[in-house]
């Protein structure tokens, strides 16, 4: 079983939660408590949310980008803006989390089922290329740090807020379910986005609003338990001695989302139970390829765990999780003082 350097991991965790601009550390008061062992402290602290005060600065950075774009565009079509990212689901583990600003052509949409009314006023491929071209120029005129080398987005870094924003370009995709329910629902749950892969496509369909809704719904139903589980896995991946390149945040979210709500329900002091439930799920995913390949993403449209290449990294991550569980359990089960300390963490 792996050996974890908790001193180093706690230092990493503290660095991820330090806001240089505000000169504040988003660490709980219990972080410096001497009666809580480092392994228990690492487990509990890894599950805690980033305060909305800091997430608001990330959202503010995206709002500023949106205003700059909206003021600078000279296009024949309107744009719609939406946001996505772990900040929207409360599963981010860093004060400075990346954030996506979806910039969507709002003059027309792609239907799941055509009604025969085909848009012909312009070429959508030309439109989205012009959208990105103008966006890049606008952003380079305002921000010192602009990265336009990615095939799906243009990234900026806001120095005053110390936040990175990815501007992602796409088209609306109206599913049949969205068309059928848009008069009843006051959201875009069934509405998709065709993300454009530059320079010449293809388009890739995504349902970000359904994903955000489902992750938040499970988080609320489990009293933040599922979110705590996702944060724990993200923290373990970030601090892994071996770089886990294949296992993305989307995979970790999917793993936790597959667990029964009853096993993730959070109450003070049951962090260890949530960690054990995640370990059991990961074991099932590793041991049963058929089960793993059939697990759906939170929005139900993808099977993110089907590729075998993620299994070795899943095993590595589970090894670290199991070490953390074993180390923490020894401390918790043998000390009433520690049990009490966790309840007030």
Q: Say whether both 76 and 178 belong to one domain.
A: yes
Q: Say whether both 175 and 73 belong to one domain.
A: yes
Q: Is the pLDDT of residue 20 over 80?
A: no
Instruction: Specify the pLDDT at position 18.
Output: 84
CATH code (residue 148)? 3.30.460.10
Using an 8 Å Cβ cutoff, are 285 and 305 in contact? Answer: yes
The mean per-residue pLDDT over the stretch 176-186 comes to: 90
Output 335-342 pairs: Cβ under 8 A, ≥24 positions apart: 337/35, 338/35, 338/36, 338/37, 338/40, 339/269, 341/30, 341/33, 341/35, 341/36, 342/36, 342/40, 342/44, 342/268, 342/269, 342/271
pLDDT tens for residues 141-159? 999 999 999 999 999 999 8
Banded model confidence at residue 245, pLDDT cuts 50, 70, 90: very high
Banded model confidence at residue 253, pLDDT cuts 50, 70, 90: very high
What is the share, in percent, of the chain residues with pLDDT greater than 70?
Answer: 97
Q: Say whether both 130 and 250 belong to one domain.
A: no
Name the DSSP class of 22: T
Instruction: Tell me if 216 is assigned to some domain.
Output: no
Instruction: Specify the pLDDT at position 30.
Output: 64
Instruction: Tell me if 275 is assigned to some domain.
Output: yes
Distance CA 45, CA 305 (A): 27
pLDDT tens for residues 21-75? 766 776 666 666 778 899 999 999 999 999 888 889 899 999 999 999 999 999 9
Q: Say whether both 62 and 45 belong to one domain.
A: no
Domain boundary among 146, 179, 208: 208
What is the share, in percent, of the chain residues with pLDDT greater than 90?
Answer: 82
Using an 8 Å Cβ cutoff, are 241 and 9 in contact? Answer: no
Tally of structural domains, the chain:
2
Q: Say whether both 203 and 70 belong to one domain.
A: yes
Q: Is the dihedral of CA 114, 118, 124, 125 positive or negative?
A: positive
Instruction: Tell me if 291 is assigned to some domain.
Output: yes
Q: Say whether both 202 and 124 belong to one domain.
A: yes
Segments forming the whole domain that contains residue 110: 53-208
pTM: 0.94
Q: Say whether both 160 and 294 belong to one domain.
A: no
Domain boundary among 208, 241, 258: 208
């Amino acid at each position: 079983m792996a050996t974890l350097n908790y001193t180093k991991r706690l230092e990493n965790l503290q660095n991820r939660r330090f806001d240089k601009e505000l000169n504040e550390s988003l660490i709980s008061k219990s972080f410096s408590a001497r009666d809580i062992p480092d392994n228990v402290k690492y487990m509990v602290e890894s599950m805690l949310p980033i305060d909305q005060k800091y997430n608001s600065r990330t959202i503010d950075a995206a709002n500023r980008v949106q205003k700059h774009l909206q003021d600078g565009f000279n296009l024949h079509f309107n744009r719609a803006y939406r946001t996505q990212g772990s900040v929207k689901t409360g599963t981010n583990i860093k004060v400075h989390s990346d954030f996506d600003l979806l910039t969507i052509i709002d003059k027309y949409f792609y239907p799941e089922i055509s009604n025969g009314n085909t848009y012909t006023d312009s070429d959508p491929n030309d439109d989205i290329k012009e959208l990105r071209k103008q966006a890049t120029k606008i952003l380079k005129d305002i921000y010192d740090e602009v990265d336009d080398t990615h095939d799906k987005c243009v990234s900026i870094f806001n120095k005053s807020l110390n936040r990175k924003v990815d501007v992602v370009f796409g088209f609306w995709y109206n599913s049949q379910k969205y068309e059928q329910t848009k008069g009843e629902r006051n959201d875009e749950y069934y509405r998709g986005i065709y993300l454009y892969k530059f320079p010449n496509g293809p388009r890739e369909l995504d349902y970000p609003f359904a994903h955000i809704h489902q992750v938040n719904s499970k988080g609320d139903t489990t009293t933040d338990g599922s979110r705590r589980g996702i944060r724990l896995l993200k923290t373990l991946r970030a601090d892994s001695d071996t770089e886990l390149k294949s296992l993305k945040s989307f995979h970790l979210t999917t793993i936790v989302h597959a667990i029964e709500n009853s096993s993730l329900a959070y109450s003070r002091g049951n962090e260890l139970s949530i960690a054990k439930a995640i370990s059991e799920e990961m074991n099932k995913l590793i041991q049963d390829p058929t089960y793993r390949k059939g697990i759906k993403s939170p929005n139900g449209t993808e099977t993110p765990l089907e590729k075998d290449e993620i299994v070795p990294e899943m095993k590595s991550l589970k090894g670290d999780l199991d070490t953390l569980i074993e180390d923490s359990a020894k401390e918790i089960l043998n000390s009433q003082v520690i049990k009490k300390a966790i309840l007030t963490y």
